[in-house]
Amino acid sequence: MNEQEWINYLKKYLYQGEKVVAAHNEDCTVIKISKNKYFLYTTDALVEGIHFDLRFTDFYSLGHKLAVANLSDIAAMGGEPKWALLTLGSPKAPDKEWIDPFMKGLVTQLKKYKAHLVGGDTVKSPNFFFNLALTGETQAPLLRSTAKVGDIIFVSKPLGASAAFLRYIKDKPLEEIPAFLKKAYLRPTPEITLGKAIRKLANAVIDISDGLLLDLYRLCEASSVSAVIELEAIPIPKYVTLQEALSGGEDYALLFSVPQENLQELFKVCKRIKKSIYEIGRIQKGKPKIYLKNEEGALEEIGPSGFDHFTSQPEF
């Protein structure tokens, strides 16, 4: 089973009560508390050797990224993050040399978005692992399953920089890698402010953490729609390949669909919060498929993991 089949398999063990608006296949668990109040709940772990490599990741960045991975899930629901618990697995007795930067990175990011670390657990472990559980709140959750035909698709950041960093680091020392790529990988920004701002404007939102194509496919599948994206419109920064922009991971960007009638308000809101967004395509009727439109206007169906001839995926 791949990760998605696996999540589907585990679904049967999740509680399905009426208050539970979403318990899987969304970025957060969503539980209805009252008419205008929803409880958000998410957890994300970083495991040494799987999600990070201490040869080029400092502990401050690790704490920062752990916060962002979780904050980004809350952002995708249009939520405000609240309370965090940390589980800290460490092979040796904790040591101020790494614990202080780690905690500072974590707590600084949380505080920036008015979230607070309020407890946790420290355990011995053969390797480092860090788990955060984060709660949040929203008046009305944004879901990935509510895109409508005709919606315009946006992304909130240039894509692929994190994947490009992982390509560069294979044969370049850290100090020779462009600062923009380092920041994207080591100190990403969660879209909390944007998520809240589009709460009443977007029809559907998903956090891009596994690459544009895969996450757009998930949104289409959940909403029973298809999508056309324009090759030229995809925001690809310097140093980044098309493949990395389409299928790289760890962008922590929002991908969202907005109905035509809300566009004016959307642009106004984005101006107010000083946030650039990028229009990349449109939601269409049809089975969950993604079509790429090239410069000549020709459409090509594209699988969730990218062009067929893009076989090598960035990896450690």
Beta carbon of residue 245, minimum distance to a second copy (angstroms, whole number): 25
- Do the Cβ atoms of 214 and 313 come closer than 8 Å? no
Q: Which residue lies nearer to a second copy by CB, 1 or 179?
A: 1
What are the DSSP calls for 209-252, one per residue? SS-HHHHHHHHHHHHT-EEEEEGGGS---TT--HHHHHH-----
Per-residue x/- mask for a second copy, residues 61 to 100, rule CB under 8 A? ----------------------x-xxx-x---xx-x--x-
Beta carbon of residue 13, minimum distance to a second copy (angstroms, whole number): 4
Residues 23, 140, 149, 242: which binds a second copy (CB under 8 A)?
23
Q: Which residue lies nearer to a second copy by CB, 7 or 299?
A: 7
Q: Which residue lies nearer to a second copy by CB, 18 or 171?
A: 18
- Say how far apart CA 84 and CA 139 lie, in whole Å: 20
Per-residue x/- mask for a second copy, residues 269 to 308, rule CB under 8 A? ----------------------------------------
Using the rule CB under 8 A, is 140 a contact of a second copy? no
Which range in 12-20, 54-62, 156-164, 200-208 contacts a second copy by CB under 8 A? 12-20
- Say how far apart CA 278 and CA 152 lie, in whole Å: 10
Which range in 46-54, 194-202, 220-228, 304-312 contacts a second copy by CB under 8 A? 46-54
Give the residues across from 29 on adjacent strands.
41
Residues 20, 174, 228, 263: which binds a second copy (CB under 8 A)?
20
Residues 32, 45, 303, 313: which binds a second copy (CB under 8 A)?
45
- Say how far apart CA 68 and CA 41 lie, in whole Å: 14
- Say how far apart CA 53 and CA 294 lie, in whole Å: 37
Using the rule CB under 8 A, is 50 a contact of a second copy? yes
- Say how far apart CA 144 and CA 227 lie, in whole Å: 13
CB under 8 Å to 232, separation ≥6 — which residues?
A: 295
- Do the Cβ atoms of 45 and 88 come closer than 8 Å? no
- Say how far apart CA 71 and CA 64 lie, in whole Å: 10
Per-residue x/- mask for a second copy, residues 96 to 135, rule CB under 8 A? x--x---xx-xx--------xxxxxxxxxxxx-x-x-x-x
Read off the tokens for 127: 């390797």
Using the rule CB under 8 A, is 263 a contact of a second copy? no
Tell which residue, 58, 267, 22, 248, has the closest CA to residue 146: 22
**Containing H/E element for 117?**
strand 116-124
Beta carbon of residue 104, minimum distance to a second copy (angstroms, whole number): 8
Q: Footprint of a second copy on this chain (CB under 8 A)?
A: 1, 3, 6-7, 9-10, 13-15, 17, 20, 23-24, 28-29, 31, 39, 41-45, 47-51, 83, 85-87, 89, 93-94, 96, 99, 103-104, 106-107, 116-127, 129, 131, 133, 135
